[in-house]
A = this chain, B = another copy of it.
Amino acid sequence: MDEQDSRRILEKFGNGILEDIERSKNPKFITAVRSRSNILYDEKKGYLKLGPSKEERNFMNVSQTKRFMQTIAIAAKCHKFVSENLHTTIRGLFYQLKYSLGEDVDENIFSEQAESNPLIEDLEVALGMKREDMNLNANRKGILAGNMKVIDKFGNEKIEIDASKQGRSGWPIPSDVDNDIEFVDVKAKYVLVVEKDTLWQRLNEDKFWGKQNAILISPQGQASRGTRRLIHKLSEMGLPVYVFNDCDAWGWYIYWTIKTGSMNLAYIGQAIATPEAKFLGVTMADLEHYEFLQKLTMKATDVDIKRAQEMLNYPWINKYKEWTDELKMVLKTKLKLEEDSLQAPRLTFVDDYIVDKIKNKDFLP
């Protein structure tokens, strides 16, 4: 979706509302219910998405009038941002909304950002566009190195960035990897996602991605929308995606968010989930194959235990015997394990671990 598409969709939306008014019809639009009751796991496709329940937003419903007006104000602002070819955040948008009506009207159109955020989601769903398409940057996080180039459409420039020549720093993954970024020369054979930036640096220093012809990504903790979308796109190009995380609540959560998407973002699940992703490690099963790790375990926290129990109830997880075995072992031993521990025998051991795991197809689904 380029800038013209975004403008066209927003204009069509605005014109539809205007037409309704001119014809003395009640202005309205349709969005999808985003509450938990309407979030489904698509068994066939392998990700979380919204179900069929729809909601109407209309102006003549007293309880909705204010929110309807606010939504139109948001759409108008976003249309302006897209036309100016300038980006901001949902916080920047909020301040513009708070300010703009304020010039003429004594009342604030918004007083808290908590009011505007769900209305942006309403628009995303109703118009079938992501907030990134409306020039609203999401929090960016994530770093990449490997044999690929990107063209960054940066204002009136087109900047080519070679992700194999970013040195120890790597290339920071932007918020919007659709409209702003073009992928060229993706020569790598697979994608390795590493939870922690420190381990990413370790592997980058070893030129792991060069030796293995891989693309090395760290979401730097929980994956941002942009990083999830980028992983999804690389997967769509046919590259296998392996995720290398801690064996604990946080590591599992980061993995499943990449693989099946999350409840919060089920409304864009199709665009950001990577159902083909595999969990490379670290796992409780590693304790057998790599005996030295037995000395390096930690006690699982209450959060880890609670999370493992919850995961056993999710149908998209408990359908895999490999995962139920793994989680039951966590509950039995009450232990956890960090990916950092693989540096213990020597700093480069982690490289060998990953290569062996991939070679032996020793990963969880």
Interface residues of A (CB under 8 A from B): 81, 84, 86-89, 91-92, 95-96, 98-100, 102, 108, 137, 139-140, 143, 152, 154-155, 157, 159, 161, 165-175, 180, 197-198, 201-202, 205-207, 292, 295-296, 338, 340-341, 343-345, 347-348
Complexed CA–CA distance, A348 and B81 (Å)? 11
Minimum CB–CB distance for A132 against chain B, Å: 12
- Chain B residues in 8 Å Cβ range of A205: 86-87, 154-155
- Chain B residues in 8 Å Cβ range of A166: 159, 161
Complexed CA–CA distance, A84 and B202 (Å)? 13
Q: Is B347 a contact of A81 with CB atoms below 8 Å? A: yes
Among the listed B92, B167, B207, B340, which residue makes an inter-chain contact with A89, where contact means beta carbons less than 8 Å apart?
Answer: B340
Complexed CA–CA distance, A102 and B338 (Å)? 18
Complexed CA–CA distance, A168 and B172 (Å)? 9
Q: Is A96 a contact of B198 with CB atoms below 8 Å? A: no
Q: Is B95 a contact of A341 with CB atoms below 8 Å? A: yes
- Supply 15 A–B pairs (Cβ within 8 Å), ascending by A: A87-B205, A88-B343, A89-B340, A95-B340, A95-B341, A96-B343, A99-B345, A108-B295, A137-B198, A143-B172, A154-B167, A161-B167, A168-B174, A169-B173, A175-B201
Complexed CA–CA distance, A165 and B355 (Å)? 34
Among the listed B96, B137, B168, which residue makes an inter-chain contact with A152, where contact means beta carbons less than 8 Å apart?
Answer: B168
Since A81-B347, A102-B292, A161-B166 are in contact, a sample of 5 more A-B pairs with Cβ atoms closer than 8 Å, ordered by chain A residue number, is: A86-B348, A89-B340, A92-B202, A140-B197, A140-B201
- Chain B residues in 8 Å Cβ range of A167: 152, 154, 157, 159, 161
Q: Is A95 a contact of B169 with CB atoms below 8 Å? A: no
Complexed CA–CA distance, A240 and B81 (Å)? 33
Question: Given the known A-B contacts A137-B201, A295-B102, A345-B99, are A340 and B91 also in contact in the complex, defined by CB atoms under 8 Å?
Answer: yes
Complexed CA–CA distance, A171 and B169 (Å)? 7
Q: Is B197 a contact of A168 with CB atoms below 8 Å? A: no
Complexed CA–CA distance, A135 and B133 (Å)? 42
Minimum CB–CB distance for A227 against chain B, Å: 12
- Chain B residues in 8 Å Cβ range of A84: 347
Most chain B CB atoms below 10 A, which of A155, A161, A343: A343
Q: Is A347 a contact of B161 with CB atoms below 8 Å? A: no
A143 to chain B: closest residue by CB: B172
A344 to chain B: closest residue by CB: B99
Q: Is A95 a contact of B344 with CB atoms below 8 Å? A: yes
Q: Is A99 a contact of B161 with CB atoms below 8 Å? A: no
Minimum CB–CB distance for A211 against chain B, Å: 12
Complexed CA–CA distance, A139 and B95 (Å)? 32
Q: Is A172 a contact of B170 with CB atoms below 8 Å? A: yes
- Chain B residues in 8 Å Cβ range of A139: 197-198
Minimum CB–CB distance for A46 against chain B, Å: 30
The 8 closest A-B pairs by CB, nearest first: A152-B167, A99-B344, A159-B167, A169-B172, A95-B344, A92-B343, A154-B167, A89-B198
